[in-house]
Structure 1
Amino acid sequence: MPTVPTTTIRIDPDVKKHAGKVFDELGIGMSAAINAFLKAVIREDGIPFQLKVDRSSTVKPETRNAMLNNASIARKDEFYTQYDDVAKEMTHYAESFQQKVVLCNCDDPFESAFFRYFVINFNDLGLAKLISTSYAGSPVAGQEYPVDGARSAYQAVVTQVPDENLTRPDGSLDLENVFALEGNSLSPLMGDGDFRSNECETLLDGADIVVTNPPFSLFREYISQLNRHDKDFIVLGNMNAATYKEIFPLFRDNKLWYGESIRSGDRKFHVPENYPMNAAGCGVDNNGRRFIRVKGVRWFTNIDNGRRHEPIKLEQAYVPAENPRYENYDAIDVGRTANIPTDYDGVIGVPITFLDRYSPDQFEIIMLANGNARTNVDPAILKEVGYQPHRSDRGGVGIIEGRRIYARILIRKRIV
């Protein structure tokens, strides 16, 4: 990963070749030479040589792809996922990407760890196409490399990548060579790049797998859209989303589950320069970029993985005193997933954290017993679990000895 802000520029191949030979003789690289030029600009307070029209020049005019900037500029509307977090999760689905079209909705592709990962690993994954969109509401979109001279939302399409190392010594990507290839393009969108727009939904229809970090505030809407279009996905979200009325039924019906690589703790995200740094875990990294640490982050996916089918090792026996019955459900309470009894076949209430270790081969999820159970759960299911409204359950929270407990997932063992 880059250690300083980087900029990728398009250079005529002949100019780059001949300049490279000169720099080789001087014993410096292209990056060092450009940095020397920029320092000279600062020192001279201007261009350090006379500018004039060179009529004999054979340098080609710049094209619309002329400025491909990979600089670290802060954006407003989302946390910026770390490359390592993306890479660790994607390794669990390598075979799923073969000959697939991947869509990444971003604030700006060239600021995105998702776009970077799939460009670098395009050939190893055997991708058919990578599509990444920007969002005009971001202060970054089109700012450094406006498409056709306009600061607007755009799409980056990659259908092939050179079979060579694209990462330069300074950490930037050799994107000018990528977008010089036939079939690869940058083109403006008609709208602002909002994932809910008609043109973005059309792009979604043409994709096989969606991988991104949607704004947490729009998570339920984003997942609902993916489910409506019947798409495979791997997206980041907060674990609290698991209890949303739009999300929990997908867990229950085995249409969504947690990913592989993040199970606990917090995660580091870069944030805009104007982000308030008044919370625990905030800081500034060695590159001068602000970051925060966010707890409860999880990958959400509907692509199968091996860990999901590993059964929980059960060792505890059913002890009535330790596993009391609810007053408003025909079920027992188990405060820790590890303490699920081996010898109880009825309905069991377990913590939300059960989802981290849930195996659909071992258990069936029945419902979520929380304050919205009466309104969100099918009456037939409430009858099945013996629900009886209690004056203190506030809509369906489990009651033990007259007191409400935390929200519980009601499960039962699958009959083998």
Structure 2
Amino acid sequence: MARNATNELLQKAKKSKSDEFYTQLSDIESELQHYKSHFYNKIVYCNCDDPRISNFFKYFASNFKKLGLKKLIAACYREQVRDLFNPEEDKNGFFFEYTGAEGEKNEPGSTDIVSFNGDGDFRSSESIELLKQSDIVVTNPPFSLFREYVAQLVKYNKKFLIIGNINAITYKEIFKLIKENKAWLGINLGRGISGFIVPDHYELYGTEARVDSSGDRIVSPNNCLWLTNLDTSKRHEDIVLTKKYFGHEDEYPKYDNYDGININRTQDIPSDFKGYMGVPITFLHKFNPDQFEIVKFRKGNDERDLSINGKCPYFRILIKNKRI
């Protein structure tokens, strides 16, 4: 059954700056199993996570010794509200550090929590100090602040594994990182991310929205991805090319404004074409940088959207086969 309408929910969240989508433990386990070798003797920072309820914190705390972690830090934002009816500020943001020492609790109580002086926003100086200490950042950052969030990780040269909307691929800042081989898509995409826990005030949109056996309210957008700069062997697997261009030229129309051919599906990439090819953005999920070169995104030589007979297909990524 199609997952519909939940994109509308994410759009509402973007407009209202409401970013309360919490990742399920099953989705974290499904993705993290591919990166275990990266975490030995590393400090992991989950900087958008309440350690008392975060499934990211739960995963790393319960697998602390198995992964060989050095330290785990989780930090939580708390909105500061002050008005005529609430003259006092709400509680500050806070964080919790876990080192796996003997006798140390991996489920923080109120006495184990350390309060920030401010709200704990990932952009705050206090949170940045914790970021500087860390090696790898793993979390579900605010969708509405995704560009800014990734820019901070790049600025401080951090390894990361984070969740975002598939549309993030189209952001020029994110695409630039992908083109320069400084970031790439993780293992799971779309339906590979089974859904997010949302609070009670969120409307349950979509045919697959549900309340699970634990009472958690779940929405399944089918339009999210993992973005990372942690390498995996799967990323270097070739796309098997079974199609031919020569003899089937009519199946690969040329662009009006770029010397290249249009391809509607990744599986239709021909094995015998050495020129430029426009492929859908979903190609990035199977992209092997050893096999293909990313040349450009979306625009032709005139810097207008790629077109065929005056019509523009959905966003295309221009690529070239390195092996021909």
Q: What TM bracket, shorter-length normalisation?
A: 0.7 to 0.9
Tell me which stretches of 4 or more aligned residues in structure 1 moved more than 4 Å. 161-164, 173-176
Q: Which residue of 1 aligns with 2:68?
A: 126
1:301-320 equivalences in 2 (<5 Å): 301-318=228-245, 319-320=248-249
Q: RMSD in angstroms over aligned alpha carbons?
A: 2.3
The answer on 1:219 being equivalent to 2:135 is no
> Residues 274 and 138 (structure 1 numbering): CA distance in 2 closer, same or farther, change over 3 Å?
farther
Q: Which residue of 2 aligns with 1:160?
A: 100
> Residues 138 and 322 (structure 1 numbering): CA distance in 2 closer, same or farther, change over 3 Å?
farther
**Alpha-carbon shift at residue 277 of structure 1 (Å):** 2.7
| Distance in 2 separating the partners of 1:175 and 1:266 | 28
Q: Which residue of 2 aligns with 1:100?
A: 42
Q: Which residue of 2 aligns with 1:256?
A: 183
**Alpha-carbon shift at residue 267 of structure 1 (Å):** 2.3
1:310-389 equivalences in 2 (<5 Å): 310-318=237-245, 319-369=248-298, 373=299, 387=301, 389=302
**Alpha-carbon shift at residue 415 of structure 1 (Å):** 3.9
Q: Which residue of 2 aligns with 1:289?
A: 216
| Distance in 1 separating the partners of 2:130 and 2:98 | 14
Contact 1:364 1:412 in 2 (8 A): yes
1:23-102 equivalences in 2 (<5 Å): 77-102=19-44
Shifted more, 203-212 versus 258-267: the winner is 258-267
1:165-314 equivalences in 2 (<5 Å): 175=108, 185-262=112-189, 264=191, 267-314=194-241
Contact 1:263 1:356 in 2 (8 A): no
Q: Which residue of 1 aligns with 2:59?
A: 117
Q: Which residue of 1 aligns with 2:304?
A: 396
| Distance in 2 separating the partners of 1:359 and 1:163 | 45
- Whichever residue aligns with residue 100 of structure 2, its letter is Q
1:144-159 equivalences in 2 (<5 Å): 151-159=91-99
**Alpha-carbon shift at residue 175 of structure 1 (Å):** 4.8
> Residues 264 and 280 (structure 1 numbering): CA distance in 2 closer, same or farther, change over 3 Å?
closer
**Alpha-carbon shift at residue 161 of structure 1 (Å):** 4.6
Give SS of 2:152's match: helix
**Alpha-carbon shift at residue 279 of structure 1 (Å):** 3.9
**Alpha-carbon shift at residue 287 of structure 1 (Å):** 2.9
| Distance in 1 separating the partners of 2:316 and 2:279 | 5
- Whichever residue aligns with residue 310 of structure 2, its letter is G
| Distance in 2 separating the partners of 1:122 and 1:104 | 14
**Alpha-carbon shift at residue 116 of structure 1 (Å):** 0.5
- Whichever residue aligns with residue 314 of structure 2, its letter is Y
The normalised TM-score by structure 1 is: 0.67
**Alpha-carbon shift at residue 265 of structure 1 (Å):** 5.3
Give SS of 2:283's match: helix
**Alpha-carbon shift at residue 281 of structure 1 (Å):** 2.8
How many residues are paired up?
297
Give SS of 1:276's match: coil
| Distance in 1 separating the partners of 2:38 and 2:133 | 17
**Alpha-carbon shift at residue 400 of structure 1 (Å):** 1.1
The answer on 1:413 being equivalent to 2:321 is yes
Deviations 1:27-84 (A, max 9, x none): xxxxxxxxxxxxxxxxxxxxxxxxxxxxxxxxxxxxxxxxxxxxxxxxx642110011
Q: Identity rate of aligned residues, in percent?
A: 44
**Alpha-carbon shift at residue 263 of structure 1 (Å):** 5.6
Unaligned runs of 5+ in 1: 1-75, 140-149, 167-172, 374-381, 390-394
Contact 1:78 1:214 in 2 (8 A): no
> Residues 364 and 320 (structure 1 numbering): CA distance in 2 closer, same or farther, change over 3 Å?
same
- Whichever residue aligns with residue 412 of structure 1, its letter is K
**Alpha-carbon shift at residue 288 of structure 1 (Å):** 2.7
Contact 2:160 2:229 in 1 (8 A): yes
